[in-house]
Amino acid sequence: MLILEKSIEYKLKKALNLIKLFDKNKWRETIVSFSGGKDSSLLLHLIFMVFKKIPFQVIFFNNGFHFNETIKFIKLIEKKYFFKIVTINHNISSERKYIFELKNKIENLRVKKINQFILQNKIKYLITGHKKTDSISTLSLKQITIKYISKRKIKIFFPLFDFNDYEVLFLNKNLGVPLNQSYNKFRNSEGRLFLKKNNNFYV
C-alpha cells in the first residue's frame, strides 16, 4: 500500500476529484493535451485510475524536433493504457532563427493547431498537465488559447496545478507511471531545441 505525505495525499485526492467531474456526458466533448513529459504522463495515469480506461481524445503535437525516445514513448503509452493518441504532425523549419524565437513559434503553432482541432470537433473542455510552478507556460497557454478561440467557449482544467516537480516524480515512481527515456539522456522530453546548452544558440 502506498503511503503518502499528507500534502501529497491531499493534492492527489483533489486531482482525482476534478477528473471525476468528467462523466460520460462530457467524454466526447473533452480532450487531453499530452506532451510526452512527466506531468502529462501522470495526468493520463490518474485518468486511467478513475475510469479504468482513457475515455477522452488525447492529442500530441509533433513539431519535428522531438527526440526519438519521445516518439517511442508515445507507442508505449498507447499500449499500456489501451488507447490511440491523436498526433498532429507539423515539421517547423528553423530558418536560421534564435532558439527562443523557435520556442515561441512552436508554442504558438502548437496551441493554434490544438484550437483548430477543438473547433473542428466541437470540444468544450481541455485537460492539461500544467502546474502553477510552470507559471510562464501556463499563463502562455491561457493567453494563446484566448487569442485563437473566438468562435467557441472552452474551459481549461489543470488537475496537477498544485503539484511541484518533486511530487510529480514521486507519484510517477510510486504509481508505476512510465518514464520517457529522454529524461535519462537529455533531462527533458520536448526535444533538442529545449536542451539547456542551446538556450543562447543560433540555429
What is the pLDDT at residue 1?
Answer: 54
- Mean predicted confidence (pLDDT) in 181-192: 68
Question: Are 115 and 147 spatial neighbours (Cβ–Cβ below 8 Å)?
Answer: no
Highest mean pLDDT among 64-73, 103-112, 120-129, 192-201: 120-129
Domains and their CATH numbers in the chain: 27-198 (3.40.50.620)
**Residue 203's pLDDT is what?**
41
Question: Mean pLDDT in the chain?
Answer: 82
Task: Report which of 96, 107, 7 is spatially closest to residue 61, judged by C-alpha positions.
Answer: 107
> Residue 202's pLDDT is what?
38
Whether the CA torsion 162, 164, 81, 69 is positive or negative: it is positive
In the structure, what pLDDT confidence band is assigned to residue 116 with cuts at 50, 70 and 90? confident
From the CA atom positions of the chain, what is the Rg in Å?
17
pLDDT at residue 75 tops 90: yes
Note the pLDDT of residue 186.
Answer: 63
Averaged pLDDT for residues 97-119: 76
- Supply the pLDDT for residue 88: 92
Q: Which of 2-11, 61-70, 122-131 has the largest mean confidence?
A: 122-131
For the segment 161-175, what is each residue's pLDDT rounded down to a tens digit?
999 999 999 999 999
The pLDDT value given to residue 60? 94
Exposure string over 109-126, b if 16+ CB within 10 A, otherwise e: bbbbbbbebbeeeebebb
Whether residue 21 has pLDDT greater than 70: yes
- pLDDT at position 51 is 98
- The dihedral over CA atoms of 11, 45, 125, 145, expressed in degrees to the nearest 10, equals 80
Q: Is the pLDDT of residue 13 over 70?
A: yes
pLDDT digits (tens, 9 = 90+) for 118-163: 889 989 999 999 898 886 655 566 566 655 554 567 888 999 999 9
